[in-house]
């Protein structure tokens, strides 16, 4: 199976050995970050540093000034962690090592945007804002994300892109010094705490026959026993219907699914309009449409009719591939994303077996997270698993 390793520009720039080291893993491709959220990342082998702190979400190339002139919402340039055209420099070095380069674009996940433009953020039923989570129902935010997708995805020399966070973000988020685990919110509780009540979403609920104030009260009432530990909030979608009532639950989902689906359609169309022929467009995706996060919740049949395929989280097992495989036409890409960093829960030593199991369930390609973060021992496990060691 074709295999790609995730890489940051700062893993490559300033380390002349990095491109060959990645190619020697046995991968044919790299998925290189072009627009990324804030992070703190190890660089275990870099000759100049060991920790890189990306202080805010940024594009890792010089943004097109003409595209963004006069617009309130625009991408942020990166700082010293990725100066100049960091993406372009790394892409050229990786291509020279014989690797195909695809862009990695993070979209609706941006804490600086939420801090500087708080009205863009998801607002929960209690009035709390989630600054890391832009509301994808807001027209200005949708326009910003669509244009960002096209610009960041179609970088010079790139043969394709992977769009991450192209959907709803909610409560679940690895925030700085996160302390939100005191109450075990299950799948249903996470959904209720991720419902947005910004003005656009409040109006949107109205188009689905809901009164937004009444809905917010229902959410708070339903969650009260959960906060007290007196009731569970799991059970998948059936649990959401139990907490909200079937009619209200389905009306909220209809609104949110529509906003996510139409944004995904618009972003993919914008990328294709800007890209050369043969440019591959994939989404990081979860096959349950009401799920939030980096792997956007999607309807498998819909998204496989929109994009060229999906990248599916498989570190905990490949079961999420099945709903996509059931809907995939010939030629669709189903990439199984496997963590190969042992310190982050990965298992590079079982890569060959994990890949074989993913293939059985329909995977056509592999993604390895993450070549820059992995230790030398992890990389040796990858080489052995891919038959290169």
Residue-wise pLDDT tens digits, 333-377: 999 999 999 999 999 999 999 999 999 999 999 999 999 999 999
Give the pLDDT confidence of 86-144 residue by residue, as tens digits: 999 999 999 999 999 999 999 999 999 999 999 999 999 999 999 999 999 999 999 99
Give the pLDDT confidence score for residue 314 in this predicted structure.
Answer: 98
Contacts of 17 (CB under 8 A, 6+ apart): 45
Q: Are 93 and 19 spatial neighbours (Cβ–Cβ below 8 Å)?
A: yes
Answer whether residue 185 shows pLDDT above 90.
no
Distance between CA atoms of residues 204 and 259, nearest Å: 9
Phi, psi for residue 17 in degrees, rounded to 5: -85, -15
| Whole-number Å distance between alpha carbons of 61 and 52 | 17
Residue ranges of the alpha helices (H) in 208-299? 212-227, 236-244, 246-274
Site of tokens 């990328």: 271
Kindly tell me if the per-residue pLDDT of 182 is higher than 70.
no
Instruction: Record the tokens describing residue 239, joined without a space.
Output: 């649990």
Mean pLDDT of 45-67: 97
Specify whether the backbone of 175 is left (phi greater than 0), alpha (psi in -120 to 50) or beta. Answer: beta
Instruction: Give the tens place of pLDDT for each residue, 138-168.
Output: 999 999 999 999 999 999 999 999 999 999 9
SS (H, E, C) 155-193: CCCCCEEEEECCCCCCCCCCCCCCCCCCCCCCHHHHHHH
CA 83/CA 114 separation, integer angstroms? 23
**Cβ(34)–Cβ(149) below 8 Å:** no
DSSP for 37-92? --EEEE-TT-SS-SEEEE-S-EESS---HHHHTT-SS-PPBP-TTS-SSHHHHHHH
β partners of residue 127:
none
CATH superfamily of 2-124+132-178+257-385: Glycosidases (3.20.20.80)
**Beta carbons of 278 and 303 less than 8 angstroms apart:** no
């Amino acid at each position: 199976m074709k295999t790609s390793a995730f890489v940051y520009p700062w893993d490559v720039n300033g380390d002349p050995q990095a491109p060959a080291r990645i190619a020697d893993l046995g991968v044919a491709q790299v998925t290189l970050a072009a627009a990324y959220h804030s992070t703190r990342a190890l660089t275990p082998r870099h000759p100049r540093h060991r920790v890189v702190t990306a202080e805010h979400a940024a594009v890792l190339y010089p943004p097109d000034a003409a595209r963004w002139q006069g617009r309130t919402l625009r991408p942020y340039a990166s700082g010293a962690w990725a100066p100049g055209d960091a993406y372009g420099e790394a892409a050229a070095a990786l291509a020279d090592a014989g690797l195909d380069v695809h862009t990695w674009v993070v979209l609706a996940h941006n804490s600086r945007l939420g801090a500087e433009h708080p009205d863009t953020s998801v607002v929960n039923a209690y009035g709390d804002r989630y600054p890391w989570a832009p509301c994808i129902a807001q027209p200005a935010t949708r326009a910003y994300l669509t244009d960002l997708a096209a610009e960041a995805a179609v970088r010079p020399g790139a043969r394709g892109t992977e769009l991450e966070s192209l959907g709803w973000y909610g409560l679940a988020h690895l925030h700085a010094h996160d302390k939100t685990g005191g109450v075990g919110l299950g799948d249903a509780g996470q959904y209720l705490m991720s419902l947005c009540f910004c003005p656009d979403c409040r109006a949107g609920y109205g188009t689905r026959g809901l009164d937004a104030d009444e809905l917010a009260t229902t959410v708070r009432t339903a969650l009260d026993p959960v906060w007290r530990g007196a009731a569970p909030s799991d059970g998948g979608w059936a649990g959401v219907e139990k907490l909200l009532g079937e009619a209200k639950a389905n009306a909220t989902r209809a609104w949110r699914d529509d906003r996510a689906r139409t944004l995904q359609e618009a972003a993919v169309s914008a990328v294709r309009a800007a890209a050369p022929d043969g440019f591959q467009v994939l989404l990081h995706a979860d096959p349950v449409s009401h799920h939030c996060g980096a792997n956007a919740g999607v309807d498998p049949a819909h998204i496989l009719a929109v994009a060229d395929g999906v990248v599916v989280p498989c570190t905990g097992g490949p079961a999420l591939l099945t709903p996509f495989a059931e809907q995939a036409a010939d030629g669709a890409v189903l990439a199984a994303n496997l963590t190969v960093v042992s310190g982050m829960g990965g298992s590079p030593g079982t890569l060959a077996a994990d890949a074989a199991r993913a293939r059985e369930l329909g995977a056509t390609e592999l993604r390895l997270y993450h070549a820059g973060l992995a230790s030398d021992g992890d990389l040796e496990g990858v080489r052995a698993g891919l038959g290169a060691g």
